[in-house]
Structure 1
Amino acid sequence: MSQNRLQSVSKSQEAHRANIQRSLEHRLQIARAKGDEQLIRQLEAEMRYSS
């Protein structure tokens, strides 16, 4: 595989992880605003797992 292709794949993977992290953070903010403790715990666990 060419070096350019490898760099492109790597950048895509990084962008994907960043998007997932931002989505989780946003969902966590909403859960906290609603006071949904069960969802907060679930999202916090998902954030720990994904990091």
Structure 2
Amino acid sequence: MNNRKRVLTQTAIAHKETLRQNLQHRLERARATGNQSLVSQLEAEAAYLHL
């Protein structure tokens, strides 16, 4: 059971890191294209997800 909990914890950490990387990339692209509305939405998403 301890191993299962460790695997689940590691999976959750990896998932959150993937979300953070994806969101960071989307923010970079939105800023590069000057899409301030999308930047605002993505920043709100990051705050909501505590990234």
TM-score normalised to the size of structure 2? 0.96
Deviation at 1:6, TM superposition (A): 0.3
The answer for the alignment partner of 2:39 in structure 1 is 40
Q: Deviations over 1:6-50 (max 9, x none)?
A: 000000000000000110000000000000011000000000111
Identity of aligned residues (%): 38
The answer for the alignment partner of 2:16 in structure 1 is 17
Moved beyond 4 Å, runs of 4+: none
Equivalent residue letter for 2:47: R
* Mapped partners of 2:38, 2:16: distance in 1: 21
* Mapped partners of 2:48, 2:21: distance in 1: 15
Q: How many residues align?
A: 50
- Stretches of structure 1 that go unaligned for 5 or more consecutive residues are none
* Mapped partners of 1:15, 1:34: distance in 2: 29
Report the aligned-residue RMSD.
0.3
